[in-house]
Amino acid sequence: MAAKKRDDATTNEKAYNDIRDTLAAVPEAKIAGLNIDLAQAAMAGLVLVDRANEDGIAEKIAKLAPEFIEVDLIANLETACLAAQYIEDRAATEEATTQTVKVDAVVFDRATQVKGRMIKCLSYIMEGTKSVEDEIADIKLGTGYLDLASDLTRLAALYVLHAKLISKDPKNYRDTDLAQARADADEVRAQYRASKTQSAEWDRLRPRAYVEIVRLYNELRDTVHFVYRKQAEVKDEFEALRTAAGIVSKKAKQPSDKGGEPKPEEKKPEEKKPEGEKKPDEGKPEEKKPEGQK
């Protein structure tokens, strides 16, 4: 079938603006983890739209009473798919350009100092206690903000467990470190979460767009299956969304057919042997077979 030409640069953005309120209104209960590629689902939806606009299918669907079918169903599915493509493009840009998650430098430096001091205190006082030594060794492996928050929480637990002993360290023990470790762990997690949330605006729209595509795709497919219930050859062209998305994925992986003559197989140049070098069987006397043996 001939695919409809669309001006992606402007049409997709307009489509998104047309349904942004609809996406915002998608109930939280319907939003689940996205377990299908949104771009493939959108393309599968557009393929279905193009097919529905052929052979008088759209005209037959338009004759159905509005109480049985959504008005402008085919156009609405096309808009949702184009909007999804726009969201995918913006999300990709967002992922490529968003800066690393940030935690305030003052909080990070203070938390790192508290962590280091608590490790020194525990290592000195609890030397020889294998369980503590093993946990400290594991804590030292931590990297990144979330590991820092986790490390502080674990160190705070060790401080509580061994409170009477660690207070004997005159150099590294501070009676404020326990509370500070807990406070810094909470602050690091809070700032990490806030920063991550702000940097994923378009990514959060992906599952909402998918919910809308699924709703419209299934309604159009069910409608076609009803209208053409006695024509299996038409019904079969309107596959389930996941099946259609899988077909799109397979086609995308196939090498493009650019036409033209196929290239002849390239022959490897024959390896030249140095002069005087004999082939493995060259120069060997012919092996004589016993008489009577063929």
pLDDT attached to residue 197 = 62
CB 111 within 8 A of CB 185: yes
pLDDT over 50 (residue 260): no
| Residue 167 amino acid letter | S
* Cβ 155 vs Cβ 120: under 8 Å: no
Contact yes or no for 205/23 (Cβ under 8 A): yes
What pLDDT is attached to residue 80?
Answer: 97
DSSP 143-168: -HHHHHHHHHHHHHHHHHHTHHHHTT
91 pLDDT tier (thresholds 50, 70, 90): confident
Confidence of residue 253 (pLDDT cuts 50, 70, 90): low
pLDDT tens-digit series, residues 135-152: 999 999 988 888 999 999
Q: What is the chain's length?
A: 294
Q: Comparing 32-41, 69-78, 108-117, 271-280, which segment has the lowest mean pLDDT?
A: 271-280
Q: Quick one: pLDDT at residue 51?
A: 94
Q: How confident is the model at residue 157 (pLDDT cuts 50, 70, 90)?
A: very high
How does pLDDT run across 193-242, given as a tens digit for each residue?
877 665 577 888 999 999 999 999 999 999 999 999 999 999 889 989 98
Task: Tell me the C-alpha distance between 188 and 110, whole Å.
Answer: 11
pTM above 0.75, yes or no: no
33: Cβ contacts below 8 Å, ≥ 6 apart: 207
Higher pLDDT, 189 or 275: 189
Cβ contact 155:139 at 8 Å: yes
CA dihedral of residues 50, 51, 53, 59 (deg, nearest 10): -160
